[in-house]
Amino acid sequence: MTARRGAPSWPYPRLAAHRGAGKLVPENTLAALKHGHTLGYRMAEFDVKLSADGVAFLLHDATLQRTTNGRGRADALAWRELAQLDAGSWHSRPFAGEPLPTLGAVASYCRANGVSVNIEIKPTPGRERETGAAVALDASLLWSEASPPPLLSSFSELALGAAQEVVPDLPRAFLCSRLPIDWRERCMALGCVAIDVKHTALRPTIVEEAHALGLAVLAWTVNEAARAKLLAQWGVDTIITDAVDRLRPG
């Protein structure tokens, strides 16, 4: 395992449940978070965007149809309309009627049950800065004085930059599928504490360099035990997985 020269202690668990509980339960729901918790997970990654009236809620896609019985842009409806949608039937009959959760509901559950969170800011296109600022402000209030605090990440540098501006004290991770040539400079400009990289794009030298710069390393989405073991040997700090039933904490 590589040494993390100059890096602060990493307060988050080694494993995080992707979208709450991988693919076993409808993603980005309270049911998913609860299922991950029953399997021993004490960290969850999930996606957050804004409704038409500015309520932060969990959903991955820019549109509603893949994971709810709604259609069209996710930010075209007010929260009172989104709250009526079925976010479970698409997955399987036992979850019929599972609602979309607000970030506030998720915060209540996670704080009560000792679950750390990686909030991926997932703005609907065109609302990057607004979403980044709003989610960061909400997270700072909902997780006030929490330890560890929520980790914010985003593919949108506009969103992450807005989060940095409004709540600079919340930790941020530079999220990407492949590290750009200037990833070091981008991380420094955004005040990031970590890089959050697709696991196939990582190499031991990248992990070592990130640690030398004081950055932790997260890897997604890792679903094979052998790969997870190798990444841990390289020194990856947190592994995000769908395989919550096969990669068990502890």
Of residues 35, 37, 60, 199, which has the active-site annotation?
60
Q: Is 18 a catalytic residue?
A: yes
pLDDT at 232: 97
112 to each of 79, 86, 117, 142, 154, how far by Cα in Å? Answer: 24, 25, 13, 12, 25
pLDDT, tens only, 205-227: 999 999 999 999 999 999 999 99
54 to each of 74, 98, 130, 132, 153, how far by Cα in Å? Answer: 12, 22, 9, 12, 19
Whether 33 maps to a domain, the answer reads yes
Whether 9 maps to a domain, the answer reads no
pLDDT, tens only, 126-171: 999 999 999 999 999 999 999 999 999 999 999 999 999 999 999 9
Question: ω before 148 within 30° of 0 (cis)?
Answer: yes
Query: Percentage of residues in the chain with pLDDT exceeding 70?
Result: 97
> Please, is 97 exposed, middle or buried when counting C-beta atoms within 10 Å of its C-beta (0-12, 13-18, 19+)?
exposed
Whether 32 maps to a domain, the answer reads yes
Whether 7 maps to a domain, the answer reads no
Whether 181 maps to a domain, the answer reads yes
CATH of the domain at 183: 3.20.20.190
Whether 118 maps to a domain, the answer reads yes
Number of H helices and E strands in the chain, helices first, is 8, 9
pLDDT surpasses 60 at 191: yes
Whether 3 maps to a domain, the answer reads no
Q: Which domain holds residue 50?
A: 15-241
Number of structural domains found in the chain:
1
Of residues 18, 37, 91, 211, which has the active-site annotation?
18
pLDDT at 139: 98
Whether 87 maps to a domain, the answer reads yes
pLDDT at 8: 59
